[in-house]
Structure 1
Amino acid sequence: MTKVEDLPKNHIASTVEKENTDIEIENTGENGAGDIPAEDSATEGNTKLKEVLVELAMGTTIHGVANIVSATKTYKKLLWLSLWILALVGYCFQLSQIHNTYTTAQKTTTMDLQFGVLNFPGVTFCNLNPVKKSLLRETPLDLQLFLTISESVMKLYSEPISVEIDRNHPGFQFLNNFEKHGFNTEGWDVLSYIPTDPLQTRDIFIKSEISKMNRSTVERIGHTIDDMLLHCSFNSMICNSSFFTPISSTRFGNCYTLKSDQLVTTVPGPPYGLTLVLDMETYEYVSPSSSGNGIKLVIHEPDSYPFVEEQGVNVAPGRTSIGLNRIEIQRLKHPHGNCEDHKDYVNQYGIEYSKMACEQLCQVTLTQDICGCIPTIVSIDPSIVTSFSKFCGTMDIPCAILVRQAQVKGDLYCPCTNPCLENVYTKTISSHSWPRQEYLIHEIIPLICEDTERAKKVVNITGYTCEDFLLMDLPEDSIQAFRDNFVKLDVYFEDLNYEHIEEVPSYDIYQFLSDIGGATGLFVGASVLSLVEVVQILVEIIKYAVCRHVKK
């Protein structure tokens, strides 16, 4: 029998420890968890969390953190902690600079030369004379007056009128309507916006009178495409009046636009562009309103509205060549730019979007709302945006002009932005005297005589028949009425190269992320994988917080 004193001491200690353990197990509650004090449990949890955080800190790839944890001396801990905080401050400052650069949405413009087949632009022309002299008596008396009145007499209509502006007077009630749009008209000298130049005044009155006439009447009393078009060719192929769409201008009456949406230029040069020979019918011009002969011409994008008055050029009788070069502009949307596609514009208004079309349609809407009438000082057809039929009369003109001035200054808001993709055309214009007398007699007159109605005009104007011109040697004064009467127009691309101008972000998302990565690596030596470590630390902290909340 073995005695107690004969057992090894370590065996006795282990036996006692086992017995103590058994006693603790027997004293556990029903759930077997034991009655461990809450303080001991919290201490154990804190110790576990601390151990996890220390372990993660020692193994993290973020520079400096392990040095702070592993330092045995207090001054070393403070040194590494100070350096790490300093680096963190520099990192945050650099991040703010990078963020500011990114949020300012800076852009740069690039330009390159491209080559390809080019769609031919829209070409719109109008005779400078809106009403034929032979049909003048069929127009309203007011229009007859303004078309035939002299400039010296017009000065009487343009003299400034001394009138005291009374806001309670019915004639100035429109000033109160500006207030509805958040615009204060106090201090506005309304009468100062009425034009005093005689020619401008006459143009305003002419436009006002023509706008009141229906389209069929304007077309009948003006120069039609059949009256003017003597010859038409595109890409050396004959075209005719069916290639043109009529539109109305409140200043020039009948205008005609080439249907160019299906026309393509494959070879540069005049023979492969558009060639027109036009009869101006200068003997039908009404003086003095039509003080010069020729046409108004505008080159524009196909299907866009032609703003003849604002963007057109005057082409005098003779031969004029217009060489075109296309510039394609591509703009950026928000946040780098403010362009919009406006894809629904064609479906909504029947025309391609342009900033000028948007501004003038907005002006029509604002004038209708404020003045109660449709402005006649716009070039665009108001029926595109409204069915309202009351046009601004003489007493409404100051109100309409005030709306335009307030819109231009930005006091009346119109949400008009640049299109994201736009084509513009630069023009090289050259001209010379045309035609010579021999060419006029032997080429132009026979061209006129091909049409029966035009042949009658030759007899009425010159007193000679077409046969007389062909068979007889007529005196020079026989064609005096036809001098300065014809325009030959060549419109073509000078070459098929075109400039492509594009706005691009100078600081995109990839550069933004690259700079953040560079700053992160420079200051704290972190990488993308370091984010996983940060997430792991946050998960451990959240897990610990949730466990403590549940135990409470």
Structure 2
Amino acid sequence: MYGRHDSRNQSRDDDYYMGSEYFTNTKNTEPPVDYGDHLRENEETESLDSEGKQKSFNRLCVRFAEKTSMQGLPWINAAKLWYAKVFWIFLLLCGIAGMTLHLYSLIDQFLQFDVQVSISLGFNHLVLPAVTVCNVNAVKQSELNIMSEALQSLVTQTDPSRVNPGPGKKRKKRYVDEFDNINFDNLSRMYDFTDKGGQKKDNTFQITQTFQALYMQHSRATRQKAGHQLQNLLIGCSFGGYQCYQSNFTWLQTEDYGNCFTIQSEEFVVTSAGPDNGLTLTLYTETDEYLTGIAQGYGARIQIHDLYTYPFPSDEGEYVASGFETHVALKQVELIRKGSPYGECQDVTAYLSSYGAKYTRTLCQNFCKQQLVVDTCGCFDNAESDLFFTLNYTFSVAPCRSETERVCLAQLEADLKGRTLECPQCVKPCQETQFGKSFSARNWPTDEYANVLMEGVCEKLPKQACDHMTNKGSDYRALGHNFVKIKIYFEDLNYELIEETPEIEVQQFASDVGGAIGLWIGLSIISMFELFQLMLECCAFGVHKCRQPVPKKKQSDKYKEKYNPSVKRTQDNKNYQKII
């Protein structure tokens, strides 16, 4: 009964089975176009991490604790006992607190931007600084007639020769009394001479101020003509044994000394130290032309300053006496200051393009003072007119001439001196060259050499002036008072560099911060990237949770059979077994 099996029936069944719709082009059936939308990775696969475990925030933290190089977290994760976990959590929190305090201290110290000063010595060929020289007498006696009557009156009243001579101390006291009896009301009152606080001002100081104010009332051309000229003042000039000439000098005027002259050149390079390798100037001061009541001494005023800086010989210069050869030995000092945020300083080239002179604090203060005068008094201080003329700095207002304007000017100057008004924008330059000076002198010239010098001077001076000097005969001391010799040189070619540097460099700060973080919680740069990756994974997990769809209903068997041939094949196999 189970013996024979009809092969025809088997063949027929096979034909039926193979011809079934379930096996028609099964291998070549293509899914519909939107099949990918239906067959995305199922929800269970999307919710698994790289290790095949269910995604969760707790799982992310555990996995981070297992792999991180940060100290403490692996021990917290590995601890089995609750008090062990508490202990390691406590240690980690203490480390974080210590790191926070340490970092706060480091950041606070860094943000103070303190500087430290380093001093070093260098050796090189040095450029000779600029030298400005002035005769201490502003107006020549022979040119007094071109000045105003007020100035002539002041000179007449202060002339010691008008005082009757007397013996010893009596004569000196009478001359002082005459100074006290000078009637300033007869002169143009250019300053406020009102005594303040019950204190009486010095009469000599008042005479000097009045003379300067009257002198500056004259035009620039008149003042130049009335002063000592370079062709008479300069009778010798050499640098390193080679002659220099009048064309190497530039002219400027000051209210104190009248005509002044500056020599400067980048070609004056000093290759050896000592007096023979510097600048030598021989001056003829024309002492017979002095206004004796105004210029109360003989000699010259010199200022040694950095190249291309504007000179202020009245404030920053030194006197050189007549009848002496004065040696000025220099030592160069370079100052380099740090700007913002470590401090306040001004670039030295800030004024160079606009005014033709390097920035200095004194120059800035003069600009600031003049602007305050213009804003407060409605005029400008004529005492500094030549400074602004030289630097092409112009004003749209007139000079202060009326008594009201002069009183306003005097009050403003008093406020500046009392620091009631200040110029906070006038900070120190970022780079500055200073020169330490050592003075030495000897009597010069000798009696015989004085006659030789006088003969050379007579070739330049008018015959009348020369005869006046030679008539002094054997008064060699009087002749010697007419001459000044100056030697300016470097004591040695070593220079001192004083430089401000940050107390905490950026590299040092980064090292300190890294050391603090590594000390307290064991973090390194690589460990910080681990924290960064943890944040990215947390963000990705959050996005996944937000985008996770609502669970769908179970698909029908018909849908599964249509788009999943394996399901249909399994079902047909079951039916086939039943047929058999």
- What's the TM-score bracket when you normalise by the shorter of the two chains? 0.7 to 0.9
* Higher deviation after alignment, 303-312 or 376-385: 376-385
Contact 1:374 1:389 in 2 (8 A): yes
Deviation at 1:34, TM superposition (A): 11
1:516 aligns with 2:513: yes
1:297 aligns with 2:305: no
1:108 to 106, 116, 120: 116
1:234 aligns with 2:242: no
2:340 to 331, 334, 338: 334
Per the alignment, residue 432 of structure 2 pairs with 422
Per the alignment, residue 466 of structure 2 pairs with 458
Per the alignment, residue 171 of structure 1 pairs with none
- Residues 347 and 146 from structure 1, CA distance in 2 versus in 1: closer, same or farther, beyond 3 angstroms? farther
Alpha-carbon distance in 2 for matches of 1:505, 1:34: 59
Alpha-carbon distance in 1 for matches of 2:304, 2:53: 81
- Residues 413 and 231 from structure 1, CA distance in 2 versus in 1: closer, same or farther, beyond 3 angstroms? closer
2:531 to 525, 530, 534: 534
Per the alignment, residue 258 of structure 1 pairs with 263
Q: Residues 236-385 of structure 1: matches in 2 within 5 Å? A: 236-317=241-322, 318-376=324-382, 378=384, 381-383=387-389, 384=391, 385=393
User: Per-residue displacement from partner, 1:424-477 (whole Å, max 9, x unpaired)?
Assistant: 011111112211211112x212321333x355521244359xxxxxxxxxx514
Per the alignment, residue 6 of structure 2 pairs with none
Per the alignment, residue 489 of structure 2 pairs with 492
Contact 1:158 1:201 in 2 (8 A): no
2:82 to 74, 78, 97: 74
Deviation at 1:70, TM superposition (A): 2.0
- Residues 428 and 455 from structure 1, CA distance in 2 versus in 1: closer, same or farther, beyond 3 angstroms? farther
Contact 2:348 2:431 in 1 (8 A): no
- Residues 45 and 149 from structure 1, CA distance in 2 versus in 1: closer, same or farther, beyond 3 angstroms? farther
- Tell me the SS of whatever aligns to 2:331: strand
| Letter aligned with residue 251 of structure 1 | D
| Letter aligned with residue 298 of structure 1 | Q
Deviation at 1:83, TM superposition (A): 1.0
Deviation at 1:216, TM superposition (A): 1.6
Q: Residues 425-436 of structure 1: matches in 2 within 5 Å? A: 425-436=435-446
2:230 to 225, 233, 253: 225
Deviation at 1:114, TM superposition (A): 0.6
- Residues 195 and 298 from structure 1, CA distance in 2 versus in 1: closer, same or farther, beyond 3 angstroms? farther
| Letter aligned with residue 214 of structure 1 | S
Give aligned pairs, total: 480
Deviation at 1:57, TM superposition (A): 1.4
- Tell me the SS of whatever aligns to 1:297: strand
Alpha-carbon distance in 2 for matches of 1:264, 1:34: 84
Alpha-carbon distance in 1 for matches of 2:237, 2:261: 13
Alpha-carbon distance in 1 for matches of 2:110, 2:516: 15
Alpha-carbon distance in 2 for matches of 1:403, 1:203: 20
* Higher deviation after alignment, 198-207 or 128-137: 198-207
- Residues 419 and 399 from structure 1, CA distance in 2 versus in 1: closer, same or farther, beyond 3 angstroms? same
Contact 2:99 2:520 in 1 (8 A): yes
| Letter aligned with residue 336 of structure 2 | Q
| Letter aligned with residue 444 of structure 1 | L
Per the alignment, residue 449 of structure 1 pairs with 458
1:59 to 67, 70, 76: 67
Contact 1:376 1:392 in 2 (8 A): yes
1:476 aligns with 2:474: yes
Alpha-carbon distance in 1 for matches of 2:198, 2:414: 9
Per the alignment, residue 4 of structure 2 pairs with none
1:211 to 208, 216, 238: 216
* Higher deviation after alignment, 142-151 or 303-312: 142-151
- Residues 389 and 297 from structure 1, CA distance in 2 versus in 1: closer, same or farther, beyond 3 angstroms? farther
Contact 1:300 1:306 in 2 (8 A): yes
Contact 1:305 1:352 in 2 (8 A): yes
Alpha-carbon distance in 2 for matches of 1:81, 1:132: 93
- Tell me the SS of whatever aligns to 1:112: strand
- Tell me the SS of whatever aligns to 1:245: strand
Alpha-carbon distance in 1 for matches of 2:198, 2:246: 42
- Tell me the SS of whatever aligns to 1:327: strand
TM-score (normalizing by structure 2)? 0.77
Question: Where does the alignment leave 5 or more consecutive residues of structure 1 unmatched?
Answer: 1-29, 161-188, 465-474
| Letter aligned with residue 153 of structure 2 | L
| Letter aligned with residue 424 of structure 1 | Q
Alpha-carbon distance in 2 for matches of 1:528, 1:36: 37
Question: Where does the alignment leave 5 or more consecutive residues of structure 2 unmatched?
Answer: 1-36, 159-175, 186-193, 550-580
Per the alignment, residue 438 of structure 1 pairs with 448
Deviation at 1:333, TM superposition (A): 1.2
* Higher deviation after alignment, 44-53 or 299-308: 44-53
User: Per-residue displacement from partner, 1:511-539 (whole Å, max 9, x unpaired)?
Assistant: 11111111111110111100110000110
Alpha-carbon distance in 2 for matches of 1:129, 1:328: 34
Per the alignment, residue 120 of structure 1 pairs with 128
**RMSD between superposed Cα atoms in Å:** 3.0
Contact 1:106 1:507 in 2 (8 A): yes
- Residues 342 and 265 from structure 1, CA distance in 2 versus in 1: closer, same or farther, beyond 3 angstroms? closer
User: Per-residue displacement from partner, 1:305-338 (whole Å, max 9, x unpaired)?
Assistant: 1111111111110211111111111111112221
1:386 aligns with 2:387: no
